[in-house]
Amino acid sequence: MRTGKDYLSSLDDGRTVYLDGERIDDVTVHPAFAPVAGVVAELYDMAADPANGMQYTAPETGETANLVFSTPRDAEGLAARRAAIQRWAGHTHGWVGRSPDHVGTFLAGFASRPELFDTEHHSLGANVTAYYQRLLREDLFVSYAIIPPQVSRATTASGWGEDFLQAGVAEETAEGIVLRGAQMLATGAAVADEVLITCIKPLGPDDQDFAFSAVLPVNAEGLKLYCRRPFAPAATSAFDYPLTSRYDEPDALVVLDDVFVPWERVFASRDIAVVRDQFFGTCAHALGNWQAQIRFAAKLRFIAGIARKVTQVNGTDKIPAVADKLGELASIVGSVQASVDAAEFTATLDGNGVMVPGREPLYSAMGLQSETYPRVIGIVRDLVGGGVLQLPASVRDLTSEHTAADVAHYIQSPGVASEERIKLFKLAWDVIGSEFAGRHQQYEMFYAGAPFVVRGVYAFRNFGYQDAVEDVDAFLAGYTTAS
Ligand SMILES: Cc1cc2nc3c(=O)[nH]c(=O)nc-3n(C[C@H](O)[C@H](O)[C@H](O)COP(=O)(O)OP(=O)(O)OC[C@H]3O[C@@H](n4cnc5c(N)ncnc54)[C@H](O)[C@@H]3O)c2cc1C
């Protein structure tokens, strides 16, 4: 199995990553990328250690593979997959949204129905199968960019008046396709092995050129990543920014400058139906988002722990009104966990023999996420008060001969040493107030699509409305003006 060292050494491959107008030489040593790459390396080391129970023999290859990439065929397989994902999520406390298990799960979903990718124009199902086998063998870290860039949401790309702002197929040849344009927003791509580029937003009949699905090595010639402002380099220390300094994942706009992609890496080309159905005609979307909810539940529990600890340190936890707030937090965390559990409990075998988590509880939790996360952050903000600002500027104030004595004396709590209190409140600030915290709020609200899509499409369509309406109809039919 791949180790963290194997993973890190593969990243220095000439990839084109831009930051502040400069090209990054080696992401494994740059302060914007090295910390999170180090965390991903830790995840690989965990999976590589048989003691962690994250390995299985993949029937698709007959070889040992990482359980987070498995295709669950029964309840036990689904439970084993969940346990492996939980183990990784526990290690990052849920703060790494796009760990390799996220997109890897979507690819397992695609490969569960390879025939979907065989059409009258192209026969690409074998590519999907072969790629999934490679993913299993090589323990690949794949990121994805599956949303058109925010140019205008008033029309789809064909209405934008300029060719290939959104990534599309500029040319098809006997050897492969040539991709041109951009796609948002590949989290983790700068430290991933490969990137899946496709489109999950609905495309119109004139958007044929933008309907493709392909997976490219991050160092593909002509592929450029434009990273947002990173937060990790600005983190003065792990003590001051315990989350930013470890878990800041780069998000990047992917620009494709006539990138040639050989057919073996293409899953769809100029095929609107395949591009849509790869997500929704397979288990990919449900299985992939269940992974995301498992991770989300781990993060919420960690945040709840911080909230409770803050109230213990401040001596407010026995006040009934504070218990009420902690109780609301507990209810939210418990509900998300219950949805994850319920999805596993209500899982069913789909037509391709995959055990798919129940969509109703899964999408119910997702539908509320754009309210859930801000509410959780709101409760923590409320409970910490000004304590997160009554903090010394940096760890140096705790050690400097000029400041150490006053800091130790005035920033403390009964039975809680100054350093312990400051550490806790700095952690709380990294959850609610730092740039990292702000990015995480945006992430939890948008990573699976804008809230109007998650609720108005996914949650709406996957709720059992038909049964509910039939029940109401039957009830209404049970009485008349005469009864
Ligand atoms: C931090 C972060 C990381 C991400 N990582 C990834 C990643 O790794 N890979 C990836 O592919 N994607 C990723 N995403 C998700 C993706 O890039 C988009 O943010 C997401 O799909 C929503 O699209 P949008 O941001 O363009 O929002 P828009 O679609 O522009 O929507 C923004 C808002 O406009 C309004 N709106 C727009 N259109 C309508 C409409 N038709 N009806 C009603 N209201 C409307 C709504 O208020 C909506 O909330 C990430 C997002 C964030 C924030």
Q: What is the pLDDT of residue 42?
A: 98
Q: What is the pLDDT of residue 399?
A: 97
Residue nearest (by alpha carbon) to ligand 1 atom 38: 153
Q: What is the pLDDT of residue 483?
A: 82
Decide whether any atom of ligand 1 lies within 6 Å of the 147 Cβ: yes
Q: How far is the CA of 374 from the centre of ligand 1 (A)?
A: 16
Decide whether any atom of ligand 1 lies within 6 Å of the 279 Cβ: no
Q: How far is the CA of 232 from the centre of ligand 1 (A)?
A: 24
Q: Which residues of the chain have pLDDT under 70?
A: none
Q: What is the pLDDT of residue 449?
A: 96
Which pair of structure tokens corresponds to residue 394?
A: 């940096």
- Cα angle 109-225-194, degrees, rounded to a multiple of 5: 30
What are the angstrom distances between the C-alpha of 298 and each of 35, 219, 293, 333, 449?
Answer: 21, 33, 9, 9, 21
Q: How far is the CA of 449 from the centre of ligand 1 (A)?
A: 5
Q: How far is the CA of 442 from the centre of ligand 1 (A)?
A: 9
* φ/ψ bin of 181: left (φ > 0), alpha (ψ from -120 to 50), beta (otherwise): left
Decide whether any atom of ligand 1 lies within 6 Å of the 251 Cβ: yes
Q: What is the pLDDT of residue 162?
A: 83
Decide whether any atom of ligand 1 lies within 6 Å of the 446 Cβ: yes
Give pTM, 2 decimals. Answer: 0.97
pLDDT (tens digit per residue) in 275-298: 999 999 999 999 999 999 999 999
Q: How far is the CA of 440 from the centre of ligand 1 (A)?
A: 14
pLDDT (tens digit per residue) in 150-188: 999 999 999 998 889 999 999 999 999 999 999 999 999
Q: What is the pLDDT of residue 404?
A: 98
Q: What is the pLDDT of residue 322?
A: 98
Q: Which atom of ligand 1 is nearest to the CA of 449?
A: 21
pLDDT (tens digit per residue) in 402-450: 999 999 999 999 999 999 999 999 999 999 999 999 999 999 999 999 9
Q: How far is the CA of 450 from the centre of ligand 1 (A)?
A: 4
Decide whether any atom of ligand 1 lies within 6 Å of the 443 Cβ: yes
The Cβ of residue 144 has, within 10 Å, a number of other Cβ atoms equal to: 26
Closest by alpha carbon to 109, among 292, 355, 282, 289?
A: 282
Q: What is the pLDDT of residue 296?
A: 98
Decide whether any atom of ligand 1 lies within 6 Å of the 148 Cβ: no
